[in-house]
């Protein structure tokens, strides 16, 4: 990457005459000369003046409000280095590229660089030929980076995306918790913390975590008057697809469509392409070159829409996005506001559309409760480990095996979260697995082996034949196997491992290496011996669920959505009505029954804004947002026995469909001599019942349905779903 090894002339002239301060006139001169702006935007001038006075500063500007100017202009005027802590590699690269394009001396240090490249950039900082250095917070976890930077001299520390430092923020990152300590190691330089989304509670937490001294707190307001907010109520993914296509056809200009997973991104992009809308997919699963090509195509307006996971747009300066659509509800209002705010950064009218179905909440609940497991879950996992451990304290089990041993009481993701927590308090640590001995259990019947392991699978058939010869029917219970003791034709330990992986992928066997697993610090020790912060864990879980509640209340609000957002962020500009949301414009369609009915989609299109006062149908003012309607239930709507608390309450039709899906699952499991969860776990059946996919493409988007299972079981499960939707499709 090119860089500028000499300080820009006028900047050095400003800096030569000052220590760690500068005047507002000097700041405006630098802004005009190096950025081409006549004056600062609201909030920017106050922030720059605060930094120029040497004060700690907290800046809350909306997305598109120009937060980076608040530290980039001071960096050009201050005598030493400005260090910017930034959470995303793509974000720091984009900012450095933009600064270098202006001829301003900036660089970044992150994991994409070699050690020699890192040393070169630090040497440039030592020579004084860099004014801004972007660094990820993890860089300070090891090594002497902080000490070296302190010796160089830091005029200003900028903490970007500062909401990440707060456990009450929507994107909390543990690495950010250490930024306060890093600041101390740097010599406590003047600090500016910046974010687009911070409630009053988060703002207080940022100040506390960074140990800011009497900071200037600048909140310019959250009201983006050029943005119009819409919520389209839907029942299924197909409804959402229809509404998305209609929205894109109703609106002109560039669009960003946010989806929750990589798989959803790919599917939605294909749906738009089939509808003759020029769209591309963007997510972290793409290789760097392809991701760059996609981003460049969007930036150069070679495509109409980009379908992306939520990381897209961080630091991307594309001012003329006219439409942002969320295909699924985000987990927090902060995340929604930040992502929707990437529309209309040029100040022109733009639309933000949320496609909402009541089941959008369930996935967020699942991940929250899995990420912050309840005490009873952690205790149960710990006891399962103690029972599985051998005399040396090693439990040779995987998270999936521990979940299976709990008889459905603990889900695999909960096991993983519990193990992570147990590792943090040194109760458990991972032991490396040895392939000198493996444990193998046969799942398939001889008839299935003969039918499905045909030509091209001679090695796999030969391995199964050899194992059966030595163990017979005991192979169905599981046996230890020493790969080096098998005939040489199987290729030793690595050859046997490859064959077993192939067989396990097609569900002929399950296996694992032995000699490794999870080592308990003390098998005899109760969990109470270890310092688990149960109160903190409960606090984080409650906080995340509270944020999810607020997001869903926004989706169900029957009063002004703009006011709802402003009240949430503590903005005094909130008013009872506006002229920029579907409720106040009178374009919102009345709520349907919250228990979804099944049938043809009648999803409304997002109607374009009607000019004039007659278009406004303002509801009566209300002091608080409307509560979320709860699904209608009857006594017949009960939970099935092994569905965990994180799954939704179901209506009678849903329960009946889950029952039918389970019958099919049981038949398949018996025929293949495998546990039922090897066909599909309960969560997958629930998602099938709620989403009711009616094609292989939509079924593939259900959690737990991979390509192999789609090919093997897809048609039969789709047939059950179709019969539930339309009983006339049942065989006579």
Residue 51 has pLDDT above 90, yes or no: yes
Over range 662-689, report the average pLDDT.
80
**How far apart are alpha carbons 323 and 240 in whole angstroms?**
16
- The verdict on 187 and 284 lying in the same domain is no
Overall domain count for the chain: 4
- Of 189, 219, 249, which residue sits at a domain end? 219
Of 436 and 187, more confident: 187
Asked whether residue 425 is assigned to any structural domain, the reply reads no
pLDDT above 80: residue 18: no
**pLDDT confidence bin for 206, thresholds 50/70/90:** very high
Report how far residue 435's alpha carbon sits from residue 482's, in angstroms, rounded to the nearest whole number: 8
pLDDT-derived band at 212, boundaries 50, 70, 90: very high
Higher pLDDT, 190 or 480: 190
The CATH number of residue 677's host domain is 1.10.150.80
Could you give the CA distance from residue 518 to residue 423 in angstroms, rounded to a whole number?
10
Let me know: does 253 contact 322? Beta carbons within 8 Å.
yes
Q: Which helix (H) or strand (E) holds 351?
A: strand 350-356
Domain shared by 128 and 238, yes or no: no
Whether the predicted pLDDT of 432 surpasses 80: no
Separation between Cα atoms, residue 85 and residue 80, nearest integer Å: 16
| Average pLDDT of the residues in 313-329 | 80
Q: Is the pLDDT of residue 139 over 60?
A: yes
Angle 44-52/69-77 helices, nearest 10 degrees? 30
Q: Which of 219, 252, 282 represents a domain boundary (last residue)?
A: 219
Least confident of 12-26, 165-179, 424-438, 687-701: 12-26
| Residue 98 in domain | yes
* Contact criterion met (CB below 8 Å) for 187 and 219: no
∠ CA 38-67-69, nearest 5°, is 40
Contact present, 418 and 377 (Cβ < 8 Å): yes
pLDDT of 625 higher than 60: no
Q: How much is the average pLDDT of 622-635?
A: 33
More confident residue, 14 or 416: 416
| Whether residue 83 is found in the same domain as residue 189 | yes
Residue 606 forms part of a structural domain: yes
Between CA 561 and CA 402 the distance in angstroms is 45
Q: What's the confidence (pLDDT) of residue 233? A: 92
Domain span including residue 67: 9-219
CA–CA separation, 420 and 82 (whole Å): 36
Are residues 208 and 138 located together in one domain of the fold? yes
Whether 659 and 598 share a structural domain: no
Beta strands 57-60; 216-219: pairing state: parallel
Q: Is the pLDDT of residue 612 over 60?
A: no
How far apart CA 569 and CA 567 sit, in angstroms, is 5
| pLDDT recorded at residue 319 | 78
343 and 234 within one domain: yes
CATH number for 194: 3.40.50.300
Residues 255 and 213 reside in one and the same domain: no
- Parallel, antiparallel, or unpaired: how do β-strands 428-431 and 517-520 relate? antiparallel
Whether residue 304 lies inside any domain: the answer is: yes
Helical H segments across 506-559, by residue range:
534-556
Give how far the C-alpha of residue 2 lies from the chain's centroid of Cα atoms, to the nearest Å: 33
Look at residues 91, 81, 73 and name the one whose alpha carbon lies nearest to residue 133.
Answer: 81
Say whether both 45 and 138 belong to one domain: yes
Lowest mean pLDDT among 535-539, 629-633, 696-700: 629-633
Mean pLDDT of the chain: 81
Q: 285 versus 619: which is more confidently predicted?
A: 285
d(CA 431, CA 396): 9
- pLDDT beyond 90 at 188: yes
Q: Provide the 8-state DSSP code for 592.
A: P
The answer to whether position 74 is within a domain reads: yes
Angle between helices 412-424 and 360-371 (to 10 degrees): 30
pLDDT at 729: 54
pLDDT tens-digit series, residues 275-301: 999 999 998 788 878 888 888 888 888
How many whole angstroms separate alpha carbon 253 and alpha carbon 298?
12
Picking from 351, 346, 339, 291, the residue whose alpha carbon sits closest to that of residue 318 is 346
Containing H/E element for 712?
A: helix 707-725
Which helix (H) or strand (E) element contains residue 81?
A: strand 81-85
* pLDDT(2) > 60: no
Half-sphere exposure of 473 (CA within 13 A, CB side): 1
Q: What is the pLDDT of residue 631?
A: 32
Q: Note whether 482 and 582 are same-domain residues.
A: no
Confidence of residue 709 (pLDDT cuts 50, 70, 90): confident
What residues contact residue 264 under an 8 Å CB cut-off, 6+ apart?
Answer: 327, 328, 701
Average pLDDT on 559-586 reads 91
- Residue 721 pLDDT greater than 50, yes or no: yes
Q: By the 8 A CB rule, do 197 and 338 touch?
A: yes
Examine the pLDDT at 165 and tell me if it is beyond 60.
Answer: yes
Confidence of residue 359 (pLDDT cuts 50, 70, 90): confident
Greater pLDDT, 2 or 211: 211
Looking at residues 166-170, what average pLDDT do you find? 67
> In this structure, are 560 and 665 located in the same domain?
no
Sign of CA dihedral 168, 173, 177, 180: negative
Q: Is residue 418 part of a domain?
A: no
Quickly state the pLDDT bin for 313 (edges 50, 70, 90): low
The residue among 515, 532, 565 that closes a domain is: 515
* Phi and psi torsions of 99, nearest 5°: -70, -45
pLDDT given for residue 106 in this prediction: 93
pLDDT of residue 289: 81
Based on the domain organization, do 192 and 297 belong to the same domain? Answer: no
pLDDT confidence bin for 616, thresholds 50/70/90? very low
Q: What angle do CA 281, 284, 290 make, to 5 degrees?
A: 60
Mean pLDDT of 129-136: 92
For 543-565, write each residue's pLDDT tens digit: 889 999 999 999 999 999 999 99
CB 220 within 8 A of CB 69: no
Q: Could you tell me the CA-to-CA distances from 174 to 137, 138, 169, 221, 534 in Å, in that order?
A: 10, 10, 12, 28, 17
Percent of all residues in the chain with a pLDDT value above 70, rounded to a whole number: 84
Residue 466 phi/psi, 5-degree rounding, is -65, -40
Query: Does pLDDT of 7 surpass 50?
Result: no
Mean pLDDT of 313-339: 84
pLDDT (mean) for 32-49: 87
**pLDDT at residue 679 is higher than 50:** yes
Task: Render pLDDT for 484-522 as a digit per residue (tens, 0 to 9).
Answer: 888 888 888 888 888 998 898 888 988 877 666 788 999
Q: Is residue 715 part of a domain?
A: yes
- Tell me how far apart the alpha carbons of residues 2 and 5 are, in angstroms, rounded to a whole number: 10
* Residue at 382 is within a domain: no
List beta partners, residue 95: none
As a whole number of angstroms, the distance between CA 494 and CA 490 comes to 9
Are 72 and 154 in the same domain? yes
pLDDT of residue 287: 80
Residues ≥6 apart with Cβ < 8 Å to 171: 87, 161, 163, 164, 334, 335
């Amino acid at each position: 990457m090119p860089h500028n090894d000499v300080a820009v002339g006028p900047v050095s002239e400003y800096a030569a005459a000052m220590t760690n301060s500068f005047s507002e006139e000097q700041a405006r001169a630098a802004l005009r000369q190096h950025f081409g702006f006549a004056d600062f935007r609201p909030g920017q001038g106050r922030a720059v003046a605060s930094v120029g006075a040497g004060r700690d500063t907290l800046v809350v500007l909306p997305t598109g409000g120009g937060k980076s100017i608040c530290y980039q202009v001071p960096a050009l005027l201050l005598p030493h280095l400005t260090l910017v802590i930034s959470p995303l590699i793509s974000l720091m690269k984009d900012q450095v590229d933009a600064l270098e394009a202006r001829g301003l001396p900036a660089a970044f240090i992150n994991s994409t660089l070699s050690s020699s490249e890192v040393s070169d950039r630090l040497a440039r900082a030592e020579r004084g030929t860099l004014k801004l250095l972007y660094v990820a917070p993890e860089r300070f976890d090891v090594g002497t980076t902080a000490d070296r930077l302190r010796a160089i001299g830091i005029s200003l520390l900028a903490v970007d995306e500062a909401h990440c430092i707060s456990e009450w923020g929507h994107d909390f990152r543990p690495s950010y918790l250490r930024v306060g300590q890093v600041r101390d190691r740097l010599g406590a330089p003047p600090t500016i913390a910046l974010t687009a989304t911070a409630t009053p509670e988060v703002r207080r937490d940022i100040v506390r975590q960074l140990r800011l001294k009497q900071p200037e707190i600048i909140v310019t307001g959250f009201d983006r008057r050029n943005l119009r907010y819409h919520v389209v109520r839907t029942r299924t993914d197909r409804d959402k697809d229809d509404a998305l296509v209609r929205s894109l056809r109703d609106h002109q200009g560039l669009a960003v469509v946010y989806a929750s997973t990589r798989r959803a991104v790919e599917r939605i992009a294909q749906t738009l392409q089939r509808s003759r809308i020029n769209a591309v997919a963007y997510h972290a699963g793409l290789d760097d070159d392809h991701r760059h090509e996609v981003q460049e195509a969007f930036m150069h307006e070679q495509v109409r829409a980009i379908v992306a996971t939520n990381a897209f747009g961080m630091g991307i300066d594309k001012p003329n996005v006219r439409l942002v659509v969320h295909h699924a509800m985000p987990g927090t209002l902060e995340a929604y506001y930040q992502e929707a705010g990437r529309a209309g950064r040029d100040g022109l009218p733009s639309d933000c559309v949320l496609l909402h179905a009541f089941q959008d909440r369930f996935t967020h609940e699942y991940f929250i409760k899995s990420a912050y497991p309840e005490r009873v879950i952690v205790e149960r996992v710990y006891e399962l480990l103690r029972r599985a451990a051998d005399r040396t304290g090693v439990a040779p089990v995987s998270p999936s095996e521990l979940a299976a041993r709990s008889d459905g009481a603990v889900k695999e993701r909960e096991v993983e979260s519990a193990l992570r927590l147990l590792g943090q308090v040194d109760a458990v640590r991972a032991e490396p697995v040895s392939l000198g001995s493996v444990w193998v259990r046969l799942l398939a019947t001889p008839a299935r082996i003969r039918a499905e392991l045909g030509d091209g699978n001679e090695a796999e058939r030969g391995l199964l034949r050899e194992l059966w010869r030595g163990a017979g029917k005991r192979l169905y219970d599981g046996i230890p196997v020493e790969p080096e003791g098998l005939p040489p034709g199987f290729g030793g330990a690595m050859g046997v491992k490859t064959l077993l992986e192939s067989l396990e992928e097609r569900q002929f066997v399950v296996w694992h290496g032995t000699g490794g697993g999870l080592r308990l610090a003390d098998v005899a020790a109760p969990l109470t011996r270890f310092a688990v912060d149960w109160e903190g864990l409960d606090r984080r879980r409650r906080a995340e669920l509270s944020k999810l509640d607020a997001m869903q209340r926004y989706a169900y609000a029957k009063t002004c959505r703009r006011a709802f957002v402003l009240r949430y962020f503590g903005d005094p500009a909130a008013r009872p009505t506006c002229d920029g949301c579907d409720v106040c414009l009178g374009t919102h369609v009345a709520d349907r029954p919250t228990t979804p009915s099944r049938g043809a989609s009648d999803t409304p299109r997002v109607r374009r804004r009607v000019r004039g006062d007659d278009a406004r149908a303002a509801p009566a003012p209300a002091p608080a947002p409307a509560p979320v309607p709860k699904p209608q239930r009857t006594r017949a709507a009960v939970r099935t026995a092994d569905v965990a608390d994180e799954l939704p309450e179901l209506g009678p039709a849903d329960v009946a469909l889950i029952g039918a899906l389970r019958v099919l699952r049981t038949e398949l499991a018996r025929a293949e001599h495998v546990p039922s969860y090897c066909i599909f776990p309960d969560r997958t059946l629930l998602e099938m019942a709620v989403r009711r996919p009616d094609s292989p493409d939509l079924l593939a988007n259900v959690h737990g349905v991979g390509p192999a299972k789609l090919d093997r079981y897809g048609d039969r499960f789709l047939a059950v779903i179709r019969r539930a939707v339309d009983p006339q499709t049942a065989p006579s």
